[in-house]
A and B are shown apart, each in its own frame.
Chain A
Amino acid sequence: EAQVTQNPRYLITVTGKKLTVTCSQNMNHEYMSWYRQDPGLGLRQIYYSMNVEVTDKGDVPEGYKVSRKEKRNFPLILESPSPNQTSLYFCASSRGQGWRGGVGYEQYFGPGTRLTVT
Chain B
Amino acid sequence: GIQVEQSPPDLILQEGANSTLRCNFSDSVNNLQWFHQNPWGQLINLFYIPSGTKQNGRLSATTVATERYSLLYISSSQTTDSGVYFCAVVDFGNEKLTFGTGTRLTIIP
B41 adjacent to A42 (CB under 8 Å): no
Closest to A105 in B: B31
Give min CB distance, B29 to chain A, whole Å: 9
Q: A88-B41, A90-B43 are in contact. Are A43 and B99 (CB under 8 A)?
A: yes
Q: Mark B48-59, 1 if CB is under 8 A from A, else 0.
A: 100000000000
In the complex, residue of chain A having the shortest beta-carbon distance to the beta carbon of B86: A43
Out of B30, B43, B90, B102, which one reaches A109, CB within 8 Å?
A: B43
Nearest CB in chain A: distance from B79 CB, A? 21
Number of A-B contacts (CB under 8 A): 55
Interface string of A4-20 (1 = CB under 8 A from B): 00000000000000000
A59 and B97 CA atoms in complex are apart in Å by 11
Interface of B is mostly: strand
Asked if A81 is at the interface (CB within 8 A of a chain B CB), the reply is no
B95 touches A56 (CB 8 A): yes
Residues of A within 8 A of B45 (CB): 106, 108-109
CA gap between A105 and B96 in the complex, in Å: 11
* Interface residues on chain A, size class: 20 to 34
Point out residues on B near A: beta carbons under 8 Å: 30-31, 33, 35, 41-43, 45, 48, 86, 88, 90, 94-97, 99, 101-102
> Which residues of A are in contact with B by a Cβ distance under 8 Å?
33, 42-43, 45, 48, 56, 58-59, 88, 90, 92, 99-100, 103-109, 111-112, 114
Closest 8 CB pairs of A and B: A106-B48, A104-B30, A45-B96, A109-B43, A43-B99, A104-B31, A112-B41, A42-B99
Contact sample, A vs B, 15 pairs, CB 8 Å cutoff? A42-B99, A42-B101, A43-B88, A45-B95, A48-B96, A56-B95, A58-B95, A58-B96, A99-B30, A99-B31, A100-B90, A100-B95, A103-B31, A105-B31, A111-B42
